[in-house]
Amino acid sequence: MIQIEHVSKTFAGGSGDVHALRDVSIRVEKGEIYGIVGFSGAGKSTLLRLVNGLERPDEGSVTVNGQKLAALNKAQLRLLRRKIGMVFQQFNLLEGKTVFANVAIPLKLAGVSREETERRVAEVLRFVELEDKRTAYVSQLSGGQKQRVGIARALATNPEILLCDEATSALDPQTTESILRLLQRVNREMGVTILLITHQMQVIQMICSKVAVMEQGRVVEEGAVLDVFGRPKAEVTRRFVRTVINDRIPEKFVTVVRSETRYQQVELLKFIGDAVQEPLIAQLCRTPGLEVNILGANIQEMQGSVMSVFILQLIGEEALVAAAEERIDAAGALRERLVMDE
Amino acid sequence: MNPASGNAQAAAFDFPVWFKQTFDIKFEKLLSSLGDTVYMLGWGLIIGAVIGFILALLLVFCRKGGLWQNRVVYAVVNVYVNIVRSMPFIITLVFVFPLTRLIVGKTYGSTAMLVPLVIFISPYLARLMENSLLEVSPGIIEAAQAMGATTWQIITRFMLPEALSSIVLALTTGTVGLLGATAMAGYAGGGGVGDLALTYGYQRYNLPLLILTIVILVLFVQLLQLLGNKISARLRAHR
């Protein structure tokens, strides 16, 4: 659906050039919700804008729906843009106009008849659950309602792709969740492919199937969300994962672990899916000569699946600990030794 | 002629006669002067606003980071606006006489005065409207582009509606400035209330007439400002 291949983009800045994108390639398949996560300035905003031609790459190619963007003239690009909806962090609505007028704008631009516009606006407003706000002015709405109008506007022309630019970053956690649920419905019920950028890992966790992590203009990690959350490789990814899955040991426990004189290992365990963890830990606890302390535990729901994280302190003879590790691996858990240096 | 005496003659109050006696000009003269002022003000504003809007669009779109980013066009328009704005109107008026003669065929009368008035006011309005247009959030323009809007649609469906209330205030300010210029234009052969004040009031030591014209001009400006504020507030009502 969307292919971005070896794209680079440099902006001339006051204090030297800014490399917004360096040899970036991503591929978004039809029907996916693809998330790009990164701290501000990582280049994700520029990457998103390549897809509808708001930014042009210096190098590399962007292909949307089989069309190479570089080969399109202005009129063709405008036609393509009508098939790509866009939602913004600051909503970018006409504040002085009614909800209806805002949602109708893309249809008017496309020259759709008045009856058809009425019908379609009513349809999308019903979808975003704002049919009762039709005649309200945008300035009278809450942030969450404004974003619903933004989504309705983006959907008005029946797009195949929806680009979300930090769509939930200006909203409170509860509203964020309801907007994410709405985006999920857009994806499932309308079959719209969604490409979103965010700096909130919760957003990725809640609705994305694939994720790319960006840092300093590069994609440092990419893959299925469960894999990336399970085995984050890059340091920046670990930092992001840590924002939703706490795998740190409380400071108090650290001193306890360090003061332990017997042989020990501290293990980070991640179970994905409905693998039954409790019997495993119960079994470990019942091993004679092995002491098991749970230093941390955390359960997260994502992608309709469950990820459980345990931090265990295993104390005992070296062979016993090694056997316990084997058992953990055999149970299908992702295991990682945590090094407790002074 | 004491109205308080209450006799029959006082009851038959003759306004034109009273007016002529008090201000030393015919009432029709005042009306035609007002007509001239409104004529110069109205057409000057309309033509000046159209040209000013085009200049403002060039300033907004050709600037760095604008839709048509073009350093040369921006520099030319910017310098032109600054030059014209730094010239006192009376100088502009005389300076463009050849152009006025070329366009209108003569250099006197209210129609001829429209040429210097428009040249004088359009850069001023351009600057004010440029500020109004720059207030439109870049995000709105980006959203418009993302929807596949043409440049014309971006101007008419997004920028104008968003900036309209602010533009109305800008035009109000501009109109008051233009009113001042019409007085000078009137003195140079355009007629109008300003001309009345200078030639009939000042030069003939007709103090009552001078005061009357001042009152009229003050009321006029108050009315314009009130109207401008009202329209602007109405447009802004739902923001």
Exposure of A202 by Cβ count < 10 A (0-12 exposed, 13-18 middle, 19+ buried)?
middle
Q: Which residues contact A323 (CB under 8 A, 6 or more apart)?
A: A287
* Backbone angles phi and psi of A244, in degrees to 5: -115, -30
Task: Tell me the pLDDT tens digit for each residue of A105-148.
Answer: 999 999 999 999 999 999 999 999 999 999 999 989 999 999 99
Instruction: Report chain B residues whose CB lies below 8 A from the CB of A96.
Output: 161-162, 165, 235-239
* Confidence label for A272 from pLDDT (cuts 50, 70 and 90): confident
Question: Is A88 in contact with B140 (Cβ distance < 8 A)?
Answer: no
User: What gap in Å lies between CA B43 and CA A306, rounded to an integer?
Assistant: 73
Q: What does the pLDDT read at residue B195?
A: 85
- Picking from B50, B48, B70, the residue whose alpha carbon sits closest to that of residue B61 is B70
Highest mean pLDDT among A31-35, A243-247, B88-92 belongs to A31-35
Task: Confirm if A209 and A303 have CB atoms less than 8 A apart.
Answer: yes
Q: What is the fold, at CATH topology level, of the domain defined by B26-236?
A: MetI-like fold (1.10.3720)
- The answer to whether the beta carbons of residues A215 and A38 sit under 8 Å apart is yes
In the predicted structure, residue B5 carries a pLDDT above the cut 60: no
Task: Identify any residues that bridge with A221 across adjacent strands, giving them in sequence order.
Answer: A213
Task: Write down the pLDDT at residue B50.
Answer: 96
pLDDT band at B11 (very low <50, low <70, confident <90, very high): low
pLDDT surpassing 60 at residue A88: yes
Asked whether the beta carbons of A151 and A142 are under 8 A apart, the reply is no
Q: Please choose, from the candidates A165, A217, A198, the residue with its C-alpha nearest in 3D space to the C-alpha of residue A58.
A: A217
CB contacts under 8 A, B 23-82 vs A, are none
Q: What is the ipTM of this complex?
A: 0.83
Question: Residue A109: which of B140, B149, B236 has the nearest Cβ?
Answer: B149
Q: Which of A54, A90, A95 sits opposite B239 (nearest CB)?
A: A95
Which chain A residues contact residue B64 at CB under 8 A?
none
Q: What is the distance between the alpha carbons of residues A218 and A42, in angstroms, rounded to a whole number?
A: 8
Q: B196 falls in which pLDDT band (50, 70, 90)?
A: confident
Q: Which residues of B touch A109 (CB under 8 A)?
A: 147-149, 153, 157
Judging contacts by C-beta atoms under 8 Å, the chain B residues touching residue A138 are 238
Of the pLDDT bands very low, low, confident and very high (cuts 50, 70, 90), residue A13 is confident
pLDDT of B10 reads 55
Q: Say what percent of chain B tops pLDDT 90.
A: 59
| A135 to chain B: closest CA residue | B238
pTM: 0.82
Domains of chain A as residue ranges with CATH: 2-243 (3.40.50.300), 251-338 (3.30.70.260)
Residue B26 has pLDDT above 70, yes or no: yes
Average pLDDT over residues A169-174: 91
Residue spans per domain, chain B: 26-236
Query: How do beta strands A305-315 and A291-302 pair?
Result: antiparallel
What is the predicted pLDDT for the residue at A122?
96
Whole-number average pLDDT of chain A:
90
Q: Which residues pair with A84 in a beta bridge?
A: A161
Q: What pLDDT shows up at residue A227?
A: 86
Length of chain B: 239
